[in-house]
A and B are shown apart, each in its own frame.
Chain A
Amino acid sequence: MSAHLLVLPIVLPLLVAALQLLLGERRRRLMAALSVASCVALVLLAATLLVDVTGTSAGDSLAAVYRIGDWPARFGIVLVADRLSALMLLLTAVLALALLPCALDRWQQPGGPVQPMFQFLLMGLNGTFLTGDLFNLFVFFEVLLAATYGLALHRPGARRVSAGLHYIAVNLLASMLFLVGVSLIFGVTGTLNMAALARLIPTVPDNTRALLHAGAAILGTAFLVKAAMWPLGFWLPRTYAAATAPVAAMFAIMTKVGVYVLLRLGLLLFGSDAGPASAHFGDTWLLWGGMATVAVGVAGMLGARDLGKLAGYNVLISSGTLLGAIGLQQPAVTAGALAYLVISTLAIAAFFLLAGMLAPHDEAEAAPLLEPYDPAGEALYADEDENRATLPAPVALLGMCFLACALVLAGLPPLSGFLAKFALLAPMLETGAGRGAIALFTLVVVAGFCTVVAMCRTGIQIFWADEDWTFPAIRLGEAVSVLILLGSCLALSIWADTPLRYLAATAEQLHAPAHYIRAVFP
């Protein structure tokens, strides 16, 4: 049984989704039970895998390999789980489980097979994190994207369909780039297995190396579209703001998929072992592109006037920071980036849920807009004398959650956002990596400050200044989801030691691809 553990995170959601499709729309309670069972099982599976690949000693680098049909890795399809894959699997499963209460609450009215699509999305995500060759990466990416198309268009309205149209067109084009990149790499090396590619790249003859680099660059562009690097990320804030709250929250991990693949392929294929001509290919692009993304995200965040867009630009900032950190290619920075990846995904998901809770439930009604800054105006100070005697408990809860989200996103102490940012930023100064690292450091600190400004402004307007802001009734499911997400952020700030050590070992393993190659080709 344990030999087949590795394929279960892909097979289980697939079977559950198929079963749910067969059950049809009417047996709602059974469907919900299946969804919950599947997500709980995925969390357990991911945790088991994580323990399996951790090994006993700290420097021990284990990677579990599953050969589908037991074909040798040269001919067949392999699934590989190393520390990074296990981490991403666990993050996906926890996020999905945390979002289920809210999703089940919101999806009670009939509106298409939305629960099966959620399971297909999980299947695609898990497959992407586990696959060991480029073509199956493409297949799982398409599974994942097809599911997101359906989810993004759940309960269509004119705004949602228009945003979905752009999202699908951009992603179809990105998939074409993906295929061109994959086929160029196949044409040069004759293999698509990632470990085999990592072995072959140092020995590629010089006359075809340019073609290989072109293929890798085109492939990278496809992932940068998913990771929303400037100028490829204009589709993101609009699509995310238009999607329903639980869907947008699940999409928080979608940009991280692009980041994951860039991290994996960048370090495996173009790490320090890739020979003088190919080592660190594309790093500078990632670094400066990531910084441009952060800058655009900050500008958008300061200008955003509805909560959905505000959250969308926060996604851009987080993704840009990660891309820049990957571009530095240093183990300590990578470890910090992984911590930041986990924390920011959880916090942004919580923020999307909060944005959904603060907007009116009736989606035909337009969400209230934030006021533009107006120093001379009296809007903010009009009724200073009026003391509100009581604060209703739901509003207090919303306010506390908003505050926690803001602290984590901005990276202020005492919550885990600060720990993650510290783990990310401190090594940049220590190693003396030069201008790039200093520039990224400055930019991330400034972005944190601007996040504080934007979140303060939003919070003051919603909770203190605006008398007319109507708070819709809180649904139990939504509150539970937000509390689970923020609670896990809190838990990570209390018990930070073990996770951080795990992440440091993960980064070391990523920077030594020989382990990965040896696991696939023993």
Chain B
Amino acid sequence: MEAVLALAIGVLAASGVWLLLRPRTFQVIIGLTLISYAVNLFIFCIGGLRTGADPVLRGDADISQYADPLPQALVLTAIVISFATTALFLVVLLASRGLTGNDHVDGEDGTP
């Protein structure tokens, strides 16, 4: 499972970086979204991967067998924040498209 997760994070991050370096604003925003997915998965697995571990809710389980709740709390916060800021970026992107008439990141397009 570790290998699959590591590969998934790696592929997401690499695709995100590639898209981020493209000249169109739409590609940039998709790139940022992919990178934020990669980062969220990364935070989620930083507490250690474990299948079938109890949540911290059950009182009778052995404390060392709990799934670590803190990364879950962190990833929730990170998801909310990155979602909100990406939405905000989308608004700016649309404003830029409306003001300049093209979707190049610099606001001016070399090709006619």
- A residues whose Cβ falls under 8 Å from a Cβ of B: 135, 138-139, 142, 145-146, 149, 153, 156-158, 161-162, 164-166, 168-169, 172-173, 175-176, 179-180, 182-184, 186-187
Contacts and interface: CB of A to CB of B under 8 A. Distances in A.
Interface in B73-88: 74, 77-78, 81-82, 84-86, 88
A520 to B, nearest CB: 18
Interface secondary structure of A, over-half rule: helix
Contacts of A183: 42-43, 46, 71, 74
A139 B77 contact: yes
A135 B74 contact: yes
A175 B39 CA distance: 10
B65 interface: no
B15 to A, nearest CB: 14
14 contacts: A145-B85, A153-B92, A153-B95, A161-B95, A169-B20, A169-B32, A173-B32, A175-B81, A175-B82, A179-B39, A183-B71, A186-B70, A186-B71, A186-B74
Interface residues of B, number: 32
Contact of B43 (A166, A173, A179): A179
A315 B40 CA distance: 33
Interface secondary structure of B, over-half rule: helix
Interface of B: 20, 25, 28, 32, 35-36, 39, 42-43, 46-47, 70-71, 74, 77-78, 81-82, 84-86, 88-89, 92-93, 95-96, 99-100, 105-107
Given A139-B81, A180-B42, A162 B100 contact: yes
A175 B82 CA distance: 9
A202 B32 CA distance: 36
A179 B95 CA distance: 28
Contacts of A168: 85, 88-89, 92
In this complex, the member of B20, B71, B89, B92 whose beta carbon has the largest number of chain A beta carbons within 10 angstroms is B92
B92 A187 contact: no
A142 B80 CA distance: 11
A241 to B, nearest CB: 15
Contacts of B106: 162
